[in-house]
Each structure stands twice: as C-alpha cells, then as structure tokens.
Amino acid sequence: MNDLKKIPLHVAMIMDGNGRWAAAKGKDRVEGHIEGVRSIRVITEEAVKYGIRYVSFFAFSEENWARPEGEVSALMNLMLKSVQEEVETLVRNNVRFKAIGNRERLPLPLQTAIGDLEKMTEFNTALTMSVFLSYSGKWDISQAALKMAAAGDDDLEKYLSTRGMPDPDLIIRTSGEQRISNFLLWQAAYSEFVFTDTLWPDFREDGFRAALEEYAGRDRRYGKVNY
C-alpha cells in the first residue's frame, strides 16, 4: 500500500461535520459523533499501514465547552467509552495513545481512563496517536509562555503540550470548512493543508489516500527556493 513517493511523518486531522452528517440523516447529533469515532479507528489503522509515525485528532476544543450542556455531557461519555474500548485495537496495531490539552477540565473518570490507556500503550512503537481534548492553540502558547517565564528560559517550544512530537507535515480538515480553528497554531507554521468536502463520519480509506496523494505532489520549500 505504501507506494506513494512521499509519506508524511505526522498527519493531523481537524474532524468536522459530525453534526451535519447526523442532521442530513435525521439523527441526533450524538449519532454523528459515534460514527465519527469509527472514522478515527479506520484512519489510525490506515496510518499504520502507510508507515506514518504520528497521527493527531482534534476531538474537542476549549471553545467546545460552550456547546449545549447535554451535547457536552454526551461527548464526554462517548470519549470515556471509546477510550475504554480501544485498548485491544491499539495494542493489536502497536499504537501508542496520548491525550493532549487542558485535561484538568475533563471529568475525573475520563482523566483516569486516559491515564490508564497511556500507561498500557506507552511502549508501543508503530504509531503515536494523539487525541486533542479541551485543547486550543492559544491556550497551548499561553501556558507554554507562563512556564517558560517561570523557568527563566527563552525556548517556548520546549514548553508546548506537544513537546517531543514533530510538527505536523499535513493537516486535513473535513466538511468543506477552510480554517485552522485554533488548532496547533505554533506547530502548523509550515504544515501543508488539504481541505475536503467530505463530512468526517464519511471520511475513510479513499479520502485519506486522496489526501496523502495530494501531499505527495506538493513541493515543500519552508520559505526557501528550490532550483
């Protein structure tokens, strides 16, 4: 399957369109989120097959806390259920799991389940799967700046929540929206972007392959000139 001339080291996903997918099918919004979890599983397994080393999913932003209380509660319960149920899949695929964001805002049972899953998969080596929960790029830079100042340091990047992880080579956003939505603001400085009209619950193998093919055809210059 890995026949592309260039494979990104790190692919990040802005998963958009769960609510619209559900509305189009006359379903509750939560059903869209449930189907979206299946897409996460598919894309993670595809990333392993392509030899991608890092895949990141923007699952819940700091701004999402302002959504209706019932939807937020349902999302937290779905995340807890997903974390508890994905152990076998992650272990089978040799995937390391990480959660990144302002975790103190998450319900305690979810915090505990995340910590347990991180420990169970910390020595897996095929792929690092990061789920961004209660995250925003502005929060990330702000907390890093505070830590840097307290340490009397001048290396902001060392204090970001993504420290130790390479910046994303490719960021994919689904559902037709073309914006970054406060995701990885510092880290995305030289990322390539692919925007697709496909809603996230429908984004599976073919859509991922198409995005990787588009990336493979890009010429990344990092501000320089290639002759």
Give the residue numbers marked as catalytic: 16, 64
What are phi and psi for residue 135, nearest 5 degrees?
-120, 145
Residue type, 58: F
3-state secondary structure (DSSP) of residue 56: strand
> What residue has token string 């609510």?
19
Cβ within 8 Å of residue 101, ≥6 positions away = 60, 62, 132, 133, 134, 135, 139, 161
Cross-strand pairs, 117: none
Q: Do residues 114 and 103 touch, judged by C-beta distance below 8 A?
A: yes
Round to whole Å and give the CA distance between 215 and 12.
Answer: 13
Would you state the structure tokens that stand for residue 37, as one six-digit string? 């979890």
Would you state the structure tokens that stand for residue 5, as one six-digit string? 């001339």
Cβ within 8 Å of residue 50, ≥6 positions away = 1, 2, 4, 7, 212
3-state secondary structure (DSSP) of residue 61: strand
Taking alpha carbons only, the member of 36, 203, 133 closest to residue 194 is 203
